[in-house]
Structure 1
Amino acid sequence: MEKKGGDSFRFPGKLLFLAVFALVFMTLLLRDRDRNPFISTHESAQNQYTSPAPAPACFLLDPNNSSVSMEPEMKTNEGNSQSMTIEEREEASENVDSSATSYPPEKDDGNKNGTSSVETKVCNYAKGRWVADSRPPLYTVGCKYMQRNWACRLTNRTDFAYEGYRWQPIDCKMPEFEPSDFLRRMQDKTVAFIGDSLSREQFQSMMCMLTRGEESPDVEDVADKYGFLQLIRKGAYHHHGWAYRFRSTNTTILHTWSARLCDRNPINATDPNTLYAMHLDRQPAFIRENLDQINVLVINTAHHWSKTMVNMDKEVMYVNGTPVHDRFLRNIENAKIFKVNNIVKWLDSELASRPNLQVFFRTTSPRHFFKGEWNTGGKCDNLVPMTRGSEVLAEESSDKIVAAAVQGTRVKILDITALSDLRDEAHISHFGHKANDCLHWCLPGVPDTWNELLSAQV
Structure 2
Amino acid sequence: MNCNKNKNRLYHILEGMKGASLQRVSSKLSAAIVALICATIVIWAWEKTPDMSSLFPPLEQIGILYPGTSRLAPAGENSSVVNSTGSSSSKEIKHVSSLPSIDSSTACSKYVISDELKETPFGDEDCNYAKGKWVADTRRPFYSGSACKQWLSPMWACRLMQRTDFFYEDYRWQPQSCEMPEFSRNSFFKKMQNKTIAFVGDSLGRQQFQSLMCMVSGGEMSPEVEDVGKDYGLVKAPGALRPDGWAYRFPCTNTTILYYWSSSLCELEPLNKSDPATHYAMHLDRPVTFLKQHLPRFDVLVLNTGHHWNRDKFRGNRWEMYAGGVPVIDGKLVDLVNAKNFTLYSIVRWVDSQIMQHPKLKAFLRTMSPRHFVNGDWNTGGSCDNTVPLSNGSEVLQDGSSDHVAEAATKGTRVKLLDITALSKLRDEGHISKYTLRKKASQGIHDCLHWCLPGIPDSWNEILHAQI
Question: Would you call these one fold, judging by a TM-score over 0.5?
Answer: yes
Question: Which position in structure 1 is the counterpart of 2:294?
Answer: 290
Match of 1:322 among 309, 323, 326: 326
Match of 2:192 among 178, 183, 186: 186
**Counterpart of 1:145 in structure 2: which amino acid?**
W
TM-score (norm 2): 0.71
1:202 aligns with 2:205: no
Question: Which position in structure 1 is the counterpart of 2:464?
Answer: 454
Match of 1:442 among 443, 449, 452: 452
- Three-state SS of the structure 1 residue aligned to 2:401 is coil
1:223 aligns with 2:233: no
**Alignment partners' CA distance in 1, 2:371 and 2:434:** 14
Question: Which position in structure 2 is the counterpart of 1:263?
Answer: 267
Match of 1:381 among 377, 385, 394: 385
Question: Which position in structure 2 is the counterpart of 1:128?
Answer: 132
User: Do the aligned residues in 2 keep the contact of 1:366 with 1:420 (CA within 8 Å)?
Assistant: yes
Match of 2:162 among 156, 161, 181: 156
**Alignment partners' CA distance in 2, 1:325 and 1:457:** 41
Deviations 1:163-206 (A, max 9, x none): 11111111000011011111111111110000000000000000
Structure with bigger gyration radius: 1
**Alignment partners' CA distance in 1, 2:193 and 2:153:** 27
- Three-state SS of the structure 2 residue aligned to 1:380 is coil
Deviations 1:384-420 (A, max 9, x none): 0111110001010010001011111100000000000
Residues 121, 269 of structure 1: alpha-carbon distance in 2 compared, 3 angstrom cutoff: closer
Alpha-carbon offset, residue 442 of structure 1 = 0.3
Residues 227, 351 of structure 1: alpha-carbon distance in 2 compared, 3 angstrom cutoff: same
**Alignment partners' CA distance in 1, 2:140 and 2:382:** 31
How many pairs align? Answer: 337
**Unaligned runs of at least 5 residues, structure 1:** 1-119
Calculate the aligned-residue CA RMSD, in Å.
Answer: 1.2
What is the correspondence of 1:305-454 to structure 2 with a 5 Å cutoff?
Answer: 305-432=309-436, 433=442, 434-454=444-464
**Alignment partners' CA distance in 1, 2:140 and 2:455:** 11
Q: Is the deviation greater in 367-376 or in 348-357?
A: 348-357
Alpha-carbon offset, residue 237 of structure 1 = 6.6
**Alignment partners' CA distance in 2, 1:138 and 1:199:** 19
- Three-state SS of the structure 1 residue aligned to 2:287 is coil
Match of 2:281 among 267, 270, 277: 277
**Counterpart of 1:422 in structure 2: which amino acid?**
L
Question: Which position in structure 2 is the counterpart of 1:90?
Answer: none
What is the correspondence of 1:20-169 to structure 2 with a 5 Å cutoff?
Answer: 122-141=126-145, 142-143=147-148, 144-169=150-175
- Three-state SS of the structure 2 residue aligned to 1:231 is coil
**Alignment partners' CA distance in 2, 1:121 and 1:272:** 48
User: Do the aligned residues in 2 keep the contact of 1:277 with 1:315 (CA within 8 Å)?
Assistant: yes
**Alignment partners' CA distance in 1, 2:237 and 2:264:** 24
Alpha-carbon offset, residue 265 of structure 1 = 1.6
Alpha-carbon offset, residue 121 of structure 1 = 6.3
**Unaligned runs of at least 5 residues, structure 2:** 1-123, 437-441
**Counterpart of 1:454 in structure 2: which amino acid?**
L
**Alignment partners' CA distance in 2, 1:414 and 1:431:** 29
**Counterpart of 2:185 in structure 1: which amino acid?**
P
**Alignment partners' CA distance in 1, 2:245 and 2:156:** 18
Alpha-carbon offset, residue 295 of structure 1 = 0.6
- Three-state SS of the structure 1 residue aligned to 2:286 is coil
Q: Is the deviation greater in 357-366 or in 136-145?
A: 136-145
TM-score (norm 1): 0.72
**Alignment partners' CA distance in 2, 1:185 and 1:130:** 26
**Counterpart of 1:256 in structure 2: which amino acid?**
Y
**Counterpart of 1:305 in structure 2: which amino acid?**
W
Alpha-carbon offset, residue 353 of structure 1 = 2.0
User: Do the aligned residues in 2 keep the contact of 1:299 with 1:361 (CA within 8 Å)?
Assistant: yes
User: Do the aligned residues in 1 keep the contact of 2:237 with 2:243 (CA within 8 Å)?
Assistant: no
- Three-state SS of the structure 2 residue aligned to 1:336 is helix
- Three-state SS of the structure 2 residue aligned to 1:387 is coil
Q: Is the deviation greater in 210-219 or in 193-202?
A: 210-219
User: Do the aligned residues in 1 keep the contact of 2:283 with 2:325 (CA within 8 Å)?
Assistant: yes
Deviations 1:312-336 (A, max 9, x none): 1111001122211233101100000
Question: Which position in structure 2 is the counterpart of 1:170?
Answer: 176
- After TM superposition, the runs of 4+ consecutive aligned structure 1 residues lying more than 2 A away are none
**Alignment partners' CA distance in 2, 1:215 and 1:357:** 30
**Alignment partners' CA distance in 2, 1:356 and 1:383:** 42
Alpha-carbon offset, residue 299 of structure 1 = 0.1
**Alignment partners' CA distance in 2, 1:244 and 1:200:** 14
Question: Which position in structure 2 is the counterpart of 1:49?
Answer: none
**Alignment partners' CA distance in 1, 2:424 and 2:248:** 27
Alpha-carbon offset, residue 215 of structure 1 = 1.1
Deviations 1:307-358 (A, max 9, x none): 1111111110011222112331011000000000001111111112211101
**Alignment partners' CA distance in 1, 2:244 and 2:414:** 29
- Three-state SS of the structure 2 residue aligned to 1:281 is strand
User: Do the aligned residues in 1 keep the contact of 2:151 with 2:210 (CA within 8 Å)?
Assistant: yes
User: Do the aligned residues in 2 keep the contact of 1:232 with 1:238 (CA within 8 Å)?
Assistant: no
User: Do the aligned residues in 2 keep the contact of 1:229 with 1:237 (CA within 8 Å)?
Assistant: no
Identity across the alignment (%): 55
**Alignment partners' CA distance in 2, 1:370 and 1:121:** 37
Question: Which position in structure 2 is the counterpart of 1:19?
Answer: none
**Alignment partners' CA distance in 2, 1:438 and 1:389:** 18
**Alignment partners' CA distance in 1, 2:140 and 2:361:** 33
